[in-house]
Structure 1
């Protein structure tokens, strides 16, 4: 019987490097909430300006972040998202890729917000109505939920007013009914499916007195605008949409691509306040969009390109990753066990591509550990690569 495989759960020992573990990712895919961001000061300045302008003025502003594969577009979007998410006055949704049309962008945005947040929004709106039509004064979704569950506030007293006012605010009565039904135990899953554009049967819509299906780009734009209007009605400053891998629209047919871009354009036109969209896109696709779809690209106007890492960027990146796994009693600092010469070679081989840099550093550290080395030299990098 062959014993070629030696599978074990025993961890490698990195103590010789002054490390408790390998800090570099084995698969350099951006974390959902990245903790590190290095370099790209020109990009961070532009992104900060875009986000800050929307937050401070309420006026909509949009930005495209371009960069070659592996240069950090997804990481940049997710890092920015993690910063904005900490604010109580902002609603933030992430779209991994635009799919087949705007209805897919809408679906992914609402799905990223999640059932719980949308349900809390429904309770927040009912709390607002309760303050207006009763002597109760609930200040949060949880308080409103408790008042309803305890029978201190009857839904029959507030729902008709809530639907009417939300219909007036959003100019979309079916959307208003779906939001209100998020608080009903018997129908909240149907309401969620409708709000996420997953599609429900006619009988399920009829139970909630919803007459339309949310199943195309036009309805997606209408629902998104209604949702944003609801957020602003509840006191939120802006809605932030992070659309990653926007270059995938280039794989659509010309008709579908134009339909998607037109729908986003209509969304921007209908929402001059309270909306900020950031797109991550390959530069060659964005150039095609700019040359072929002026009406869309002019709505954005702003573009910032991510650049390959410089020597200084690389040293900072490696140092900050290593710091995460330094032992408390370790005297090691800076970029050790790497040398400057070894990092220069890694930078040269990777051409400054951050994804390749992280992958190579992870692999080299493991190899050095197995070979009982204490330093990753230029020669070692040459032999290993």
Structure 2
């Protein structure tokens, strides 16, 4: 019996096109940190204006990015997040979709910060208190952790003051205790579970002297606000929250949808400074939200729409991708081996949908390389599809 198929890990050869490889994704899902932004000028300007305004003034500002499925909403949010992550004065969290309510948004946001990220903030807060109440001068989280490990300062000397100050700043004593417990080896996992709203047993809460459960939207708003106020107290400019696939709230019951929107509205009302929320949403759902939930949509007030690609956008996008695999000394034109007419054909078939464009370019390039085509023409595209 012969094998029905053979596996081969040999790399396809694209050298005839002056390419080291196929630069297009086989599955065009946005990378976590996209290197190429295939957005549009008006969208870039609107996002830049929203983000820059919050960074410059500290005043909260929010934006909804609309666009049909595959037109680049997730890509836009992830690209903006990647740019902001390079800054040391902000905290950035990405929420893949809003889930069943605001508590899920809060949970995903804290999860995106991660255990280590939250623990680092706890050490940072203890460092700020230590500088004030002792003669030591730890300047960051790492220095504080070393100081504790080496016995240069005793937690028992600074923790009561840290909890008192953080309770004053956040108006949420249980949150303050949970943050401080992030630095204790015995209880940091319990503290993490409480802070992520995963829920812990009464005995575990009692061990940390935490009296409340983080188990509904109201508590989620309170905890998020506490976290943001702690960050502002540490000198951060603010918090950026990216909520993707916001259209999925339309799948909730009317009661839960309204509760989710009300919770986000309350979060915005309680945080007039230091908060910037960017939502990715299908246009038809955002239209419904604007017509049915005025109190929520008025808090955002700004919308920018991603449109299908034009031929000009497409040539630039394809050129940018090809450049990633093209040697610097290549003599070919930017979109080679594609002809303009072939790309126009892809544009027409995809109706300008970015996700489909990338998928089609990837497939056409592989087929052309397989069959030894010197150039990708309209005929090649028609043959593939």
In the alignment of these two chains, the number of paired residues is 385
Note the C-alpha offset of 1:333: 3.1
Q: Tell me if 1:27 matches 2:37.
A: no
1:98-120: per-residue Cα shift (whole Å, max 9, x none)?
00000000000000001111101
- State the Cα distance separating 1:374 from its structure 2 match: 1.5
CA distance, structure 2, for counterparts of residue 333 and residue 324 of structure 1: 14
Q: CA deviation at 1:2?
A: 4.6
Distance in 2, matches of 1:284 and 1:307, equals: 14
SS at match of 2:241: strand
1:1-385 correspondence to structure 2 within 5 Å: 1-385=1-385
SS at structure 2 position matched to 1:114:
helix
Return the offset for 1:10. 1.1
- TM-score between the two structures when normalised by the length of structure 2: 0.99
Tell me by how many angstroms 1:39 deviates. 4.3
> Aligned equivalents of 2:321 and 2:206: distance in 1?
55
TM-score w.r.t. structure 1 length?
0.99
Question: 1: CA distance between counterparts of 2:378 and 2:4?
Answer: 32
Find the aligned partners of 2:348 and 2:3 in 1 and give their Cα distance: 39
Cα deviations across residues 165-210 of structure 1 (Å, max 9, x unaligned)? 1001100000000000000000001000000001111110000000
For the 8 Å contact 2:346–2:381, the answer to whether it is kept is yes
Once the two structures are superposed, what CA deviation does each residue of 1:247-274 show, in whole Å capped at 9, x if it has no partner? Answer: 0000000010000000000000000000
Which of structure 1's runs of 4+ aligned residues deviate more than 6 A? Answer: none
Cα distance in 2 for partners of 1:349, 1:6 equals 33
Cα drift, residue 384 of structure 1:
1.2
Q: Any unmatched runs of 5+ in structure 1?
A: none
Per-residue CA deviations over 1:44-93 (Å, capped at 9, x if unaligned) read 10000000000000000000000000000000000001111111111100
**Distance in 1, Cα, partners of 2:141 & 2:300:** 35
Tell me, what secondary structure is at the counterpart of 1:326?
coil
Contact 2:81 2:92 in 1 (8 A): yes
Shift in Å, 1:328:
4.2
Contact 2:368 2:376 in 1 (8 A): yes
- Give the whole-Å Cα distance in 2 for the aligned partners of 1:298 and 1:339: 47
The DSSP-based 3-state class of the residue aligned with 1:276 is: strand
> In structure 1, what is the Cα distance between the partners aligned to 2:246 and 2:329?
46
